[in-house]
Structure 1
Amino acid sequence: MDRLENIEIFVRVAQTQSFAEAARQLRLARSVVTSRVKQLEEHVGAPLFHRSTRVVRLSEVGQAFLSDCTDLVGRANDIMDQMRGARAGPAGILRIHALTGFVLGHFAALLHEFQVNYPDIRLELIVSDAVVDPVKVGVDCALQIFPAASTELVSRPLFPVRRVFCATPAYLRKAGVPKSPRDLHKHALGLYSGYPTRDRWTFHHGPEHVTLYMNAALLTNSVHLLREYALEHAGIVCLPTLVAGDAILRGDLQVVLPDHLLSSFSLSAVYAGTSRNDFKLRLFIEHIAGAFSKVPQWDADMIAKGILPPDVITD
């Protein structure tokens, strides 16, 4: 077992390219991580890493064995989880990184249901809009709307995330309702800063599309701040419907340019193909996926009321 633990530590150091970060993720002292890697190197009879004060990189021997070691660690953890599951149910820690916009208002009930079904799995949740590599930050899965940061990661789409421009009825009565996308230039705009298209916005109207570059009166990485900004009658904002849906259905916010569609993103579960918590992670992802159809409930409610068209645009 010690040798397998040494291999797992070797894999984590290689993935994070840091002894200190591997120690943090594994909750071990750095001296223990260093000692375990040294033991493995003595057993192999060759250095696994080239070390300097700033860089940790694999040696030729380390590169040759990393893939097999990663598979071994993943398979060993999967077998142990399944053995525990067969006896008394899966147990242990599952670390998740999730988007703020998804977590607030939609996630707590799902987490509670999952814990009722699997009471011995402890969840550790990091909430942030940052795009992360799950391996490097030490989580089992990232729930995000952007592509995986590496080709070594698996990305499983869960549901589409639509975006709309919206404002309060009071603001629109005062400032006027845009009739075309170019009319947005006449308004105070609140925009999310993290989209990969940055200041470039493409609107789809039937077979036609128009691309505009727009400047924001408020540019932020918080979609919830944008919603509050709009509710203060401050301007027109672009929000994902998973954040704006409730306010739109109540009439607090009104969709503008409903026939000019923006492209949608997919909320995806991004994880390493050889996750060390593969069994628990599969249970978690299946639980989340099972809670949503291809049309999330907040979109379905707006489509049923004619607020949104049923069409979804994907890039």
Structure 2
Amino acid sequence: MDNSIRLMALRLFVRVASSGSFAEAARHFDLPASSVSRHIAGLERSLGQRLLYRHTRAVRLTDAGERYYQDIRQVLESLDLATEQVIGGAKHPQGVLRINAPVAFGRRHIAPLLARFQDENPAVEVELTLSDAFIDPVHEGADVVIRVGALDDSSLVARQLAMQRFVACAAPAYLARHGQPRHPEALSEHNCLIYKGTRGEQPWYFYTQENTQAQRYPVTGNLNSNNAESLVEAALQGQGIVLFPTWLLFDALRDGALVPILEDYHPMGEASREGIHAIYPENRLRSQKVATFLTYLTAQIGDPPYWDR
């Protein structure tokens, strides 16, 4: 296997290993699936080791394949970074920038900013993936992962983009029919539209200036969903009360389509205040495309963030 063929086989292997799919690797590299299979079979023959277990519905790594994947992925990342720095230089970001973000935040606050970023950096190709499931940027090959809420301790670098501010609100039509709750305890008498994600139902917390210890209040309602925008739409139709961060609600609040309630209290979707972060492996910041994007994103969001001005 000559060096150019081996390099392609390695890239295909890493893509199959990270995605668990020959078909996805074939789409990514614009190759027939049979070509992907042939390259990896050739790589396995040259190594004398089986790297992948092939099943009808899934592909998984052998023990040898797992060790090889971890080493080769790092080597390819270093190679791509070195190539980018030599070819592009410090003034010209280039290459594929892989961004992962939560669905609602990415659709509202990442996707709209990409056109200008790419106008200013025409040699950068963006691959944007929206998913509410946490992904490991190292394992998945992402350059930047945007995450909302609490962060687990890890070896990754995190840059805070903004703090989250929550609002409890409802449509004027709902409040006209059911009245304004005067205390968070009164929410038990209202139809609350509840977000239910991978960690279960989002709790509703409130605190005051006098008592900064957040207290959880029980809420119930006739609609819950793992899609926050669906719940906001239901609230706009007058179905009930929602509690969400302002980055999701700012346009409806600005237009008066939703009205804040319980304004003497500070609502929260977590027991403590949480932020919005960009996380990435430490070596990614040496990439000019990543550093340029993070600088651009921070400037565009601003402090305070534009949705809270």
Partner of 1:110: 113
* Equivalent-residue separation in structure 2 for 1:282 and 1:129 (angstroms): 24
Q: Is the 8 A contact 2:22 2:36 kept in 1?
A: yes
Partner of 1:180: 183
| Residue from 293, 296, 299 that aligns with 1:284 | 293
Q: Is the 8 A contact 1:97 1:142 kept in 2?
A: yes
| Residue from 219, 224, 235 that aligns with 2:224 | 219
Please, what TM-score do these two structures have when normalized by structure 1?
A: 0.78
Could you tell me how far 1:244 is from its partner in structure 2?
1.5
Indicate the RMSD between aligned Cα atoms, in angstroms.
Answer: 3.4
Partner of 2:304: 295
Listed as ranges, the matches of 1:1-315 within 5 Å are: 1-53=4-56, 56-86=59-89, 89-107=92-110, 109-132=112-135, 140-145=143-148, 155-194=158-197, 196-198=199-201, 200-205=203-208, 206-258=211-263, 259-262=265-268, 263=270, 264-271=273-280, 278-293=287-302, 295-299=304-308, 301=309
* Deviation readout 1:142-167 (Å, 9 max, x if unpaired): 43325679968665442223221102
Distance 1:74 1:221, change over 3 A: same
Aligned residues: 299
Please, what TM-score do these two structures have when normalized by structure 2?
A: 0.79
Which runs of no fewer than 5 residues in structure 1 stay unpaired? 302-315
Q: Is the 8 A contact 2:206 2:266 kept in 1?
A: yes
* Deviation readout 1:15-37 (Å, 9 max, x if unpaired): 23333333333333222222222
Distance 1:235 1:213, change over 3 A: same
Q: Is the 8 A contact 1:193 1:219 kept in 2?
A: yes
Partner of 1:312: none
Q: Is the 8 A contact 1:49 1:62 kept in 2?
A: yes
* Equivalent-residue separation in structure 2 for 1:81 and 1:247 (angstroms): 43
Distance 1:279 1:44, change over 3 A: farther
* Equivalent-residue separation in structure 2 for 1:150 and 1:3 (angstroms): 37
Could you tell me how far 1:290 is from its partner in structure 2?
3.0
* Deviation readout 1:175-219 (Å, 9 max, x if unpaired): 222122121111122222227351533323323432233222222
Please give the secondary structure, in 2, of the residue aligned with 1:227: helix
% same residue: 33
* Equivalent-residue separation in structure 1 for 2:138 and 2:27 (angstroms): 13
* Equivalent-residue separation in structure 1 for 2:134 and 2:241 (angstroms): 26
Q: Is the 8 A contact 1:71 1:274 kept in 2?
A: no
